[in-house]
Amino acid sequence: MTDRDDVPFDLASMRKQYRAEGLSETELAATPVEQFARWFKQAATDGGLFEPNAMIVSTADAEGRTSARTVLLKHFDEQGFVFYTNYDSRKARDLAENPYVSLLFPWHPMARQVIVTGVARRTGRDETAAYFRTRPHGSQLGAWASAQSSVVPTRADIDAAYAELAARYPEGEQVPVPPHWGGFRVAAQTVEFWQGRENRLHDRLRYVERPDGSWRVERLSP
């Protein structure tokens, strides 16, 4: 047990009062992607967020053991939400066994969250290569230097691998796309828009995909 005197803050009393204005069904766009685009524009311009495209990706392996991590959203459209990773990483191994995934955008300064659930599939190699070419040279080398999620003896081993690659592919020389690296597109099945409200009576409106590909909206109790 933790001694209460050792805790630097009274966690039970830490709370913020959220805004009075909320989110109504009449304000929603026709599709969740359109609504996400509206909120994302506000998050990126007026939200005061360090990385508005940062999202928590939660996965589970074949035995149901969960894991979560923060990655960056790199594209979104009606086909889904795209991020990139090492295909040998834990998240990618989980998705190979169990493609169901959850994405959470924690826009705390705006008292907003967006929660996406859906199915992840790998992007095509042409799409992956096109994105890889937009990455800074150092990030391209980093995709080769890191055997993501594997145990490494020391930081020096990582730095040495990077230095070797930097010598092989100096600035200005094209770096090949790693075969073990690429994207995932999450095709949404539900998308919840969460707006903080006073007295913890938050607005939660969730789009749910119908079998014909259209969407219905349901309100969830806070």
Active site residues: 200
Which has the closest alpha carbon to 148: 104, 178, 116?
A: 178
Phi, psi angles (nearest 5°) of residue 144: -85, -40
As given in the structure block, the two tokens for residue 27 are 């304000």
Taking the CB of residue 175, how many other CB atoms lie within 10 A of it? 18
The CA dihedral of 171, 174, 175, 177, to the nearest 10 degrees, is 150
Which has the closest alpha carbon to 55: 128, 106, 118, 4?
A: 106
What one-character DSSP code corresponds to residue 180?
T
Instruction: Provide the pairing of β-strand 203-209 with 181-195.
Output: antiparallel
Residues 184, 96: Cα–Cα separation, whole Å: 11
